[in-house]
């Protein structure tokens, strides 16, 4: 069973809510306060939470090395946030009046004069400028130069048994730059070690499902196995394919024709084109047209060992095959990050926005919110806002560890889906019956009990929690305007206090690996050979591209008019027939559900035996799928009415 591949972050976040302005997250620089140094502009969130007085080991050596990225705020950060909200809101007169990429740059982007002024300031402090773009300036230098530039001292701190340097106080920029600096990242060096790797590794070791399988939910049941919840549980399906998912989520006649979907991940599978073509051929999907699947790759890759580059091949393959299965006529452009680190993934997202490569962007990666710092969050929010103004929507998987307590010890949401400017996609267990008929869904949450040696009981039934859809209440972001009146106060105020917070996910689709998607990929077999093979997969890494595919269908229904940032529209249709309102007990309270799964002990063949287990559904840590909005499935999953639910009511303007 495979799950979402996650980016790596450094540092812990302070649990401080960033303010909302006109329903938009305020970015970057803070206004003047009593703590603000004279003639300086504080840069929000640049002192990491782990840089405490107790961990302080004194000043860093002046000769130590620093590599930092200075993000540019542009001409009108508040105006960008306000217009991003207005252009995305179906109730606004500006709805759908998108700008082109060049118009966004001209109106909101950093000017040549600003870039020159920021560059001059950095050089005057003794830093060397190593790269410049319309979004940021990269610099290197020694600790002394960095301290001079950013108005703070760098100290050594212990973290996780090691010592790293970090700002002792919040970094700042000269007030004379008039807010041209959004934030700076890289003043702490925990842990961001990377190395240059031109060559990508071979694919991961082969994984196969054992079977027996159901071809659709409930089609095959072994009556000799023990009961579960008062009945016999069916075998897990072999893996849903395009026809079943399209039927479940109301595709109808729509195919995504005329719509382009971008997918971002780290690295790039050398086999993606041949694997995608082979999968479509074997599973009844439409053959790819010439140029329908393209890639935008960086000049080289880095950190392949640290990031587990080959593991990302399966992520890219899943994303591409799932989007094509749901929206067979949509064009797909894969945009690769040079590594799994924030800077490289931000570069990939910026490529989509700067070139307007697509209107819909699927991103099956993320991390826990505790690992996100406000400085990095500001950089993500800026690209999401610029995308919204262009009519581009960003979709992120909500995570695969439920409330994250089991994996981190702390109840928390995932990022970047926690951003009010991103659409967070949660997960379900899906039952598609005979003749591709939608039966029901539960929230994805799994408990596992293994068949006893004598075959008479499920040991420790229902067994321990294994995985489930991520969701929860953000500690970083206040509640966005579109969640007001929809998200229950019990969730919005779940962290305590009186300020309502952002809750995720926003929408959901199938994610449970036990009711998952059949994927085909070139893998490394035990004899060292590379062979194409198929297996069932899940995770919100599946739900995210499925929703991206459904959005492509909806955009086609709008005659190609971009949906853009989708959350205001998603919540605008809350409580209508556009959604399946998913609960953990779709057959009635007290009627629990489960499937039987058989796995190879060695994940490849029966030479070392098989393991039979019972997987209970709808058991997601402390999160629950309930009637109405919930923190497992958001407003629900798309129903037959969803694809046509966002038809525009006003004429389209702009590009």
Confidence of residue 584 (pLDDT cuts 50, 70, 90): very high
In a domain, residue 406? The reply is no
CB-based contacts of 532, cutoff 8 Å, min separation 6: 274, 275, 278, 520, 521, 522, 523
DSSP secondary structure code for residue 653 in this structure: B
The answer to whether 365 and 397 are in contact (CB under 8 A) is yes
Q: Span 212-218, mean pLDDT? A: 97
Position 230 scores a pLDDT of 95
CB-based contacts of 172, cutoff 8 Å, min separation 6: 36, 37, 40, 41, 42, 43, 150, 151, 152
Confidence of residue 262 (pLDDT cuts 50, 70, 90): very high
Mean pLDDT of the chain: 92
Q: What sign does the CA torsion over 72, 76, 80, 82 have?
A: positive
Position 20 scores a pLDDT of 32
Mind giving me the DSSP string for 212-279? --BSSTTS-B-TTSPPBTTBPPBBPBS-B-HHHHHHHTT-TT---TT-EEEEEEES--TTHHHHHHHH
Q: Phi, psi at residue 446, to the nearest 5°?
A: -120, 135
Q: Shortest CA distance to 131 belongs to which of 347, 373, 296, 379? A: 347
Q: Span 280-306, mean pLDDT? A: 96
Half-sphere exposure of 166 (CA within 13 A, CB side): 28
Q: Shortest CA distance to 413 belongs to which of 633, 631, 635? A: 631
Q: What sign does the CA torsion over 506, 509, 515, 517 have?
A: negative
The answer to whether 260 and 331 are in contact (CB under 8 A) is yes
Q: Span 141-153, mean pLDDT? A: 97
Whether residue 11 is predicted with pLDDT greater than 70 in this model: the reply is: no
- Bridge partners (DSSP) listed for residue 56: 157
**Residue 397 exposed, middle or buried by CB count within 10 Å (0-12, 13-18, 19+):** buried
Place of tokens 């067994």: 463
Confidence of residue 38 (pLDDT cuts 50, 70, 90): confident
Position 607 scores a pLDDT of 96
In a domain, residue 494? The reply is no
Position 180 scores a pLDDT of 97
Pairing assessment for the beta strands 293-296 and 331-337 based on DSSP bridges? parallel
Position 49 scores a pLDDT of 85
Position 50 scores a pLDDT of 87
**Whole-angstrom distance between the N-terminal and C-terminal Cα of the chain?**
44
Give pLDDT tens digits for 609-619. Answer: 999 999 999 99
In a domain, residue 449? The reply is no
- Bridge partners (DSSP) listed for residue 537: 517
Q: Span 571-581, mean pLDDT? A: 97
Residues above pLDDT 90, as percent of the chain: 88
Determine the Cα–Cα distance for residues 47 and 155; give it in Å rounded to an integer: 11
The answer to whether 7 and 345 are in contact (CB under 8 A) is yes
Mind giving me the DSSP string for 141-204? EEHHHHHHHHTS-EEEEEETTEEEEEESS--EEEGGGTT-EEEEE-SS-TT----EE-SPPPPP
Give pLDDT tens digits for 371-409. Answer: 888 889 999 999 999 999 999 999 999 999 999 999 999
Q: Span 407-422, mean pLDDT? A: 96
Count of domains observed in the chain: 1
Q: Which residue has the higher pLDDT, 57 or 25?
A: 57
Position 96 scores a pLDDT of 96
Whether residue 557 is predicted with pLDDT greater than 80 in this model: the reply is: yes
Position 189 scores a pLDDT of 86
Angstrom CA distances, 44 to 36, 173, 343, stand at: 11, 11, 18
Determine the Cα–Cα distance for residues 263 and 541; give it in Å rounded to an integer: 11
The answer to whether 381 and 421 are in contact (CB under 8 A) is yes
- The parent domain of residue 108 ranges over 20-196
Position 35 scores a pLDDT of 59
Half-sphere exposure of 404 (CA within 13 A, CB side): 21
Position 191 scores a pLDDT of 57
Determine the Cα–Cα distance for residues 618 and 636; give it in Å rounded to an integer: 14
Give pLDDT tens digits for 94-121. Answer: 999 999 999 999 999 999 999 999 999 9
Position 60 scores a pLDDT of 96
Confidence of residue 64 (pLDDT cuts 50, 70, 90): very high
Position 199 scores a pLDDT of 64
Q: Shortest CA distance to 420 belongs to which of 350, 472, 477? A: 477
Task: Please tell me the total number of residues recorded for the chain in this structure.
Answer: 655
Structure tokens at 166: 């970090």
Give pLDDT tens digits for 535-550. Answer: 999 999 999 999 999 9
Residues above pLDDT 70, as percent of the chain: 92
The answer to whether 331 and 292 are in contact (CB under 8 A) is yes
Residue 54 CB neighbours (<10 A): 6
Whether residue 27 is predicted with pLDDT greater than 80 in this model: the reply is: no
Structure tokens at 185: 């990242």
Q: Shortest CA distance to 157 belongs to which of 148, 168, 146? A: 168
Position 200 scores a pLDDT of 82
Whether residue 19 is predicted with pLDDT greater than 60 in this model: the reply is: no
The answer to whether 29 and 73 are in contact (CB under 8 A) is yes
Position 406 scores a pLDDT of 94
Q: Phi, psi at residue 244, to the nearest 5°?
A: -70, -40
Q: Phi, psi at residue 472, to the nearest 5°?
A: 145, -170
How do the residues of the chain divide into helix, strand and coil, expressed in percent and rounded to 5?
A: 25, 30, 50
Determine the Cα–Cα distance for residues 82 and 432; give it in Å rounded to an integer: 42
Q: Shortest CA distance to 55 belongs to which of 223, 235, 190? A: 190
Determine the Cα–Cα distance for residues 140 and 149; give it in Å rounded to an integer: 12
Position 349 scores a pLDDT of 98
Position 649 scores a pLDDT of 52
Position 23 scores a pLDDT of 34
Place of tokens 């703070």: 152
In a domain, residue 102? The reply is yes
Confidence of residue 7 (pLDDT cuts 50, 70, 90): low
Whether residue 561 is predicted with pLDDT greater than 60 in this model: the reply is: yes
Q: Shortest CA distance to 629 belongs to which of 582, 562, 596, 559? A: 582
**Residue 224 exposed, middle or buried by CB count within 10 Å (0-12, 13-18, 19+):** exposed
Mind giving me the DSSP string for 180-191? -EEEEE-SS-TT
Determine the Cα–Cα distance for residues 472 and 414; give it in Å rounded to an integer: 8
Determine the Cα–Cα distance for residues 61 and 126; give it in Å rounded to an integer: 16
Give pLDDT tens digits for 322-372. Answer: 999 999 999 999 999 999 999 999 999 999 999 999 999 999 999 999 888
The answer to whether 365 and 285 are in contact (CB under 8 A) is no
Determine the Cα–Cα distance for residues 522 and 112; give it in Å rounded to an integer: 46
Position 36 scores a pLDDT of 63
In a domain, residue 532? The reply is no
Q: Please, where are the H alpha helices in 484-641?
A: 489-492, 540-557, 567-572
Q: Calculate ∠ Cα 120-126-131, nearest 5°.
A: 60
Confidence of residue 158 (pLDDT cuts 50, 70, 90): very high
Q: Which residue has the higher pLDDT, 271 or 370?
A: 271
Position 24 scores a pLDDT of 35
Whether residue 34 is predicted with pLDDT greater than 70 in this model: the reply is: no
């Amino acid at each position: 069973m495979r799950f979402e591949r996650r980016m790596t972050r450094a540092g812990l976040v302070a649990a401080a809510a960033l303010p909302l302005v006109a329903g938009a997250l305020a970015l970057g620089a803070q206004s003047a306060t009593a703590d603000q140094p004279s003639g300086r502009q504080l840069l929000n969130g640049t002192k990491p939470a782990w840089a405490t007085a107790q961990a302080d080991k004194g000043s860093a050596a002046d000769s130590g090395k620093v590599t930092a990225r200075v993000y540019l705020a542009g001409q009108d950060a508040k105006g960008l946030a306000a217009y991003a909200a207005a252009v995305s809101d179906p109730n606004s007169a500006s709805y759908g009046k998108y700008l082109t990429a060049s118009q966004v740059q001209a109106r909101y982007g950093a000017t040549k004069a600003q870039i020159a002024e920021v560059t001059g300031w950095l050089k005057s402090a003794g830093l060397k400028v190593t790269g410049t773009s319309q979004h940021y300036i990269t610099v290197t230098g020694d600790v002394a130069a960095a301290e001079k530039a950013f108005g703070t001292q760098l100290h050594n701190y212990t973290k996780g048994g090691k010592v790293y340097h970090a700002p002792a106080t919040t970094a700042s920029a000269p007030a004379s730059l008039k807010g041209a600096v959004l934030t700076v990242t890289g003043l702490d060096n925990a842990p961001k070690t990377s190395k240059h790797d031109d060559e990508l590794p071979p694919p991961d070791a082969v994984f196969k499902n054992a079977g027996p399988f159901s071809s659709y939910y409930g089609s095959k049941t072994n009556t000799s196995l023990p009961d579960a919840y008062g009945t016999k549980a069916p075998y897990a399906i072999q893996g849903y394919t395009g026809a079943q998912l399209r039927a479940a989520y109301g595709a109808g006649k729509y195919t995504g024709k005329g719509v382009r979907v971008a997918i971002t991940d780290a690295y790039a599978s050398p086999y993606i084109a041949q694997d995608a073509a082979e999968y479509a051929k074997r599973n009844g999907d439409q053959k790819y047209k010439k140029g329908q699947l393209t890639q935008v790759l960086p000049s080289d890759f880095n950190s392949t060992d640290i990031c587990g580059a080959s593991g990302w091949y399966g992520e890219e393959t899943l994303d591409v095959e799932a989007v094509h299965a749901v929206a067979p006529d949509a064009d797909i452009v894969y945009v690769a990050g040079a590594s799994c680190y924030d800077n490289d993934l931000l570069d990939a997202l910026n490529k989509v926005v700067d070139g307007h490569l697509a209107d819909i962007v699927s991103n099956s990666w993320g991390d826990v919110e505790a690992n996100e710092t406000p400085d990095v969050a500001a950089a993500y929010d800026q690209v999401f806002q610029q995308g919204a103004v262009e009519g581009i929507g960003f979709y992120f998987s909500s995570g695969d560890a439920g409330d994250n307590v089991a994996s981190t010890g702390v109840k928390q949401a995932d990022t970047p889906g926690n951003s009010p400017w991103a659409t967070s996609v949660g997960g379900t267990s899906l039952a598609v019956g005979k003749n591709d008929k939608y039966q029901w869904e539960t929230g994805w949450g799994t408990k596992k009990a293994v068949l006893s040696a004598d075959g008479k009981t499920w040991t420790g039934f229902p067994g321990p929690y294994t995985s489930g859809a991520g969701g929860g209440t953000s500690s970083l972001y206040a509640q966005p305007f579109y969640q007001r009146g929809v998200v229950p106060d019990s969730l919005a105020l779940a962290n305590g206090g009186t300020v309502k917070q952002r809750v995720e996910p926003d929408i959901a689709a199938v994610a449970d690996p036990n009711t998952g998607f059949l994927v085909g990929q070139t893998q490394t077999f035990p004899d060292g050979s590379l062979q194409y093979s198929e297996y069932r997969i899940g995770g919100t890494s599946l739900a995210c591209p499925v929703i991206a595919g459904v959005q492509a269908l909806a955009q086609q229904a709008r005659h190609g008019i971009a949906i853009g940032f989708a959350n205001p529209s998603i919540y605008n249709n809350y409580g209508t027939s556009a959604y399946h309102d998913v609960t953990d007990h779709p057959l009635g309270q007290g009627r629990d559900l489960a499937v039987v799964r058989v796995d190879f002990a060695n994940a490849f063949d029966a030479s070392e035996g098989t393991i039979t287990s019972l997987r209970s559904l709808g058991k997601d840590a402390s999160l629950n799928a309930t009637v109405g909005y919930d923190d497992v499935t958001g407003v629900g999953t798309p129903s037959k009415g969803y694809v046509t639910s966002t038809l525009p009511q006003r004429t389209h303007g702009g590009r």
